[in-house]
Structure 1
């Protein structure tokens, strides 16, 4: 028995590691790698691991830690501060999607419990996928980024009543609204009671563990709180993940939030990964041949039906059509909590496999497409609104600003790095013009008094309006690789080659940027690391000349093939 369990565990870990590594290399979400691993080793793949109580227990632990970490991020203050984006927009998007799909399925003769469950599963999007892709594109603080994140936060919270409903309906009792409202009320009472009664108890437990100055003691206390709360919720007749959410919410309002989050994140990542593996093990891709039309219909609901509802919600809240469509594209996919609802419902017998499997496959497929859709979201500018008129207006404003400039610097991006560069240019009285597309960063730079215009430097016409042809230098301080390459291409097309300096987050893309035309690439990790090393060597007693020789030698060794092109 022990040997069999060890073999299964090794198979899951080995295949998961390979799949996650592969998807990380392709810049795809790790969740898709775990799903692929489960599909490969499960009953519908190589049949290396069977779905058993052991694997389902690991998956349930993953759900407990997932909801615990969501609870850590739950803050009533945060919700009230962003009530329009979170409470109003989120409730309209989730409620509208759930009601529309549930009503359609109910009219087709489906059990109302299953109709509501499937509507809720479709309404959820992947917070992890959306946020990681937006962060990679530098759009977290953009208007559409903030709006989408607000809705995603509400979706996470809206999972709680749906989990209560699944737990109640899995008992195979007929639909009883009074009973369901009673269980939802019980969950609400539990949240309030824990917030008032258990908050000081939990804080005292963690405070005592912290005072012991033992990392092991604190970690065990945090684990005890998470699992203990889940067990108490189970005793109260609620689902295990709900108790974990309540415990996370209590700790999230304390001073221990960040330490608990850091200590338990490895447990969360591994166990949630195993949850995705078990989900992948239950996906039967053979149904693509058996039920292709059903899978296509569900994919259409995720990609277009939910997107349409989200777009309408954006317009109702007076967002521009471009922003509303950007957000609709960002959320047009399935998410982790949709997987959670579907697998729980199928495992408890509430959702028949022949109905749930096509939805599960469609959800997994749309999650895989999500990064590509979000990445290409900017193309909505070609679809919505009078793009040419907007670009022309921006171009005119920039051309007016740059008309008096000659032999100036074009600074592309004015965020935390760009503002420092702009400050140096101002101190040296070097003529320059800064271009920033993100509204929040633009306003911050404007507030600090920098010479800045609002526009996307990756557009040829915007760069031309900024006086690219008569500029002496281009400095690029944002980290969107495709946009940087376009700017380098535009600069290389000028009759007189304009040197381009590029700042990047790390040194992974140096070679490709140099090939694209960058004269010098400044990786932020090398610059910060070598500057810190230089100061440390001086404090350790080395002379400035000795420290300089060591740093110069290191600088040459880090990228020997590109010595003249790497600035630090």
Structure 2
């Protein structure tokens, strides 16, 4: 007991230190867990071993990882992504697996390990990519949607690969037709499980919600994930596949977001432990034993993989610049690549001389993925003249804003923005206005306002305007996606500037409140209440009574729409 407690404390302290340090460096937390496992594991300091209780908790982590992935895979999500998932995703995974498998077979590697490694190298990190794209406000962009489609298909492709690894580990070599038969049987079983589980899960959650017990809701969510995993395991399929089915069923229901929030703490801890066990399997001596293979895998991930992604984008009908940016975004390894390689190494399907260098290369590229994704716009330089214009505009804005501190960034200088600029000038408050519409830009210039021509939705333009030094960001136009993009950039700064949003009406107030806008001012609300105030005065009300009535209505409307009064 004392030994177990001591090891647990060492594990927690090392994980906290590593994850905290890497988070400060803006690198994914997964890297911290992998480093802890590699350093403390049997191949290095040997302070933590792969005991049965550790493996059990790691398997739970894998189950919850697949459950959370399933939550993102509702059929409407896949259908909305449509062409990007079914065309771009399938082409990218198919080409990468074919190239890696063929290359390994030509060098004398047997087909089984070659196929597994082809699948592992084809995967990129959905968690790292989506988090970074969200911070940059690029998820809704063309290259963001294309990358999302490829990532969604990669996650789906993990399912048959896990089934394949399990079948090979149990039965050794299987004929191609037998493999297809097992995958078809597994697919049929999963579809049947989803059909059967759908009404049962919905009925269970509906009953639990009636009890109004948060504890019961959490217990039922945990039982749903683990219970479905166990039933599928009894049917002869890997337990994580059952958890994926349960997550997919819940992902199509109205309970999805609450389940996701309740399960997340368990998922984060157990998935962290899972990646620690993956790190324990990394033999750090492989860096000295197989340096050439590590370099080869790195070149495949950062050169061959993006080249395939670029061709994939063109096949899917994306512009060259979007395809180029997507290529940079997916040029790294992923969690499921680590999972497949780790499972194959444990079962002896992949030799250490092949799998260990791949593990190290996958982990390294995951660690540096955020840095690459941040700079994906560089890839479009050769194809997109617009990128060159942005770069020139960025340099001009940076020169104009270089001396500003605690200033206001005014996004939009049209009919509302010009009024705000006039008031700021009267108050002696420094500001810089950004306007992308040429006629409005010229009008604002003629009136003497401090306005620059540029597109505020591009994070580089906001950074050039001194976003990290600004006191306030005021958004005075009414384009939902653009406003979302700017608010994401503001939220990514700690401590960030305050944010004000002007909208045409009050329909989007709650949405912007969820994006943590400091205040939202609908134009119809301001104009309507000002008109109502004047109407009350003309109807004989005193100024105090009119102000009290209008303020009461304003507070009620603001509260209903999701903002504090």
Distance 1:136 1:388, change over 3 A: closer
Contact 2:37–2:278 (CA<8 Å) still a contact in 1?
yes
Secondary structure of 2:338's partner? helix
Contact 2:434–2:453 (CA<8 Å) still a contact in 1?
no
**What pairs with 1:108-257 in structure 2 (closer than 5 Å)?**
108-257=107-256
2:385 maps to 387
Say whether 1:472 aligns with 2:450. yes
Say whether 1:354 aligns with 2:340. no
Say whether 1:336 aligns with 2:335. yes
2:416 maps to 424
Contact 1:43–1:281 (CA<8 Å) still a contact in 2?
yes
1:486 maps to 464
Q: In 1, Cα distance between the equivalents of 2:140 and 2:309? A: 19
Contact 1:411–1:475 (CA<8 Å) still a contact in 2?
no
1:279-312 C-alpha deviation (Å, 9 max, x unpaired): 1122122211221110000010111111111111
Contact 1:507–1:523 (CA<8 Å) still a contact in 2?
no
Q: CA RMSD in A?
A: 3.7
Contact 2:34–2:279 (CA<8 Å) still a contact in 1?
yes
Q: In 1, Cα distance between the equivalents of 2:309 and 2:9? A: 42
Secondary structure of 1:171's partner? helix
Q: In 2, Cα distance between the equivalents of 1:366 and 1:453? A: 46
Distance 1:475 1:6, change over 3 A: farther
Unaligned runs of 5+ in 2: 397-406, 424-431, 475-489, 501-514, 522-546, 549-565
Distance 1:423 1:322, change over 3 A: same
Distance 1:308 1:42, change over 3 A: same
Secondary structure of 2:236's partner? coil
1:300 maps to 299
1:41-77 C-alpha deviation (Å, 9 max, x unpaired): 1123322101222222111111100111111111222
Say whether 1:522 aligns with 2:498. yes
**What pairs with 1:31-180 in structure 2 (closer than 5 Å)?**
31-180=30-179
2:318 maps to 319
Q: In 2, Cα distance between the equivalents of 1:505 and 1:266? A: 22
Q: In 2, Cα distance between the equivalents of 1:147 and 1:175? A: 35
Q: In 2, Cα distance between the equivalents of 1:31 and 1:468? A: 53
Q: In 2, Cα distance between the equivalents of 1:199 and 1:236? A: 18
Q: In 1, Cα distance between the equivalents of 2:294 and 2:444? A: 49
| Offset at residue 87 of structure 1 (A) | 1.1
Q: In 1, Cα distance between the equivalents of 2:439 and 2:11? A: 52
Secondary structure of 2:170's partner? coil
1:110-144 C-alpha deviation (Å, 9 max, x unpaired): 11111111000010000111111111222111111
Q: In 2, Cα distance between the equivalents of 1:475 and 1:522? A: 23
1:74-131 C-alpha deviation (Å, 9 max, x unpaired): 1222212221111111000011101111111112221111111100001000011111
Contact 1:12–1:277 (CA<8 Å) still a contact in 2?
no
| TM-score between both structures, scaled by the size of structure 2 | 0.75
1:440 maps to none
Q: In 1, Cα distance between the equivalents of 2:365 and 2:492? A: 30
Q: In 2, Cα distance between the equivalents of 1:393 and 1:224? A: 53
| Offset at residue 4 of structure 1 (A) | 2.5
| Offset at residue 238 of structure 1 (A) | 0.5
Distance 1:5 1:142, change over 3 A: same
Distance 1:107 1:526, change over 3 A: closer
Unaligned runs of 5+ in 1: 399-409, 437-450, 455-462, 493-498, 511-520, 532-542, 545-568
Distance 1:528 1:428, change over 3 A: closer
Distance 1:107 1:470, change over 3 A: farther
Contact 1:308–1:328 (CA<8 Å) still a contact in 2?
yes
